[in-house]
Amino acid sequence: MVIPTPSGYTCSTECNTGGDIAGIVESTGPDVYEFQRGQPVAAFHIMQNPHGSYAEYAIAPQHTVFPLPPSISFEETSTIPLAAMISAFALKNLNLPSVFTPAPPNTRTLVLIYGGSTTVGAFAIKIAKQANIRPIIAIAGKGCGSCAISGRMWSLATVLGMW
């Protein structure tokens, strides 16, 4: 049986569309040594494939799995994988430095993050900081509290004029 979705994608009954995963490792593949049974983890499941997150058990590629610190709940963690992955891919597609190959100190690499108060925007800001990208210009609404955090409220024209 094939089930059409509102976006036009189709998914068979064997498919489970959930992407963000948070839970406890039940078992691992034969070549997985980094994670053990009983360990709290989060991961990203490849969409439109069997064994997604909208189920009691889910399967994720090892490269998308990361361990959880004891201070974070499964509910909080389940919001991380997709937002973090989208942010990382967006910065990579702009050919910007990454956390693995950060920009050299005192290098100026401007990035403008529109929607800095969103989950994806917040991750993009964190990743850009770790990649030593400076300056980071984030645009967000007045109600989000970002101006109070940075202590600065400038127009975009002012900021670009400083550049």
* Residue closest to 62 by CA, chosen among 29, 85, 92: 29
pLDDT, one tens digit per residue, over 118-158 is 889 999 999 999 999 999 988 887 655 555 555 555 665 56
| CA–CA separation, 162 and 160 (whole Å) | 5
| CA–CA separation, 50 and 59 (whole Å) | 8
Contacts of 161 (CB under 8 A, 6+ apart): none
CB 51 within 8 A of CB 45: yes
Could you tell me if 45 and 87 lie in one domain? Answer: no
Q: 13: domain CATH number? A: 3.90.180.10
What domain range includes position 67? 1-78
What backbone torsions phi and psi does residue 51 show, to the nearest 5 degrees? 70, 40
Work out the percent of the chain whose per-residue pLDDT is above 70: 76
Q: pTM for this one? A: 0.69
Q: CB count, 10 Å around CB of 135?
A: 13
pLDDT of residue 51: 75
Task: Domain count for the chain, please give it.
Answer: 2
Could you tell me if 72 and 116 lie in one domain? Answer: no
Could you tell me if 6 and 43 lie in one domain? Answer: yes
pLDDT of residue 58: 85
- Read off the tokens for 106: 């005192």
Q: Which residue has the higher pLDDT, 149 or 89?
A: 89
pLDDT of residue 155: 62
Could you tell me if 59 and 131 lie in one domain? Answer: no
| Last residue of one domain, picked from the residues 45, 78, 111 | 78
Could you tell me if 131 and 59 lie in one domain? Answer: no
Is 90 exceeded by the pLDDT of residue 95? yes
Mean pLDDT within 37-47: 89
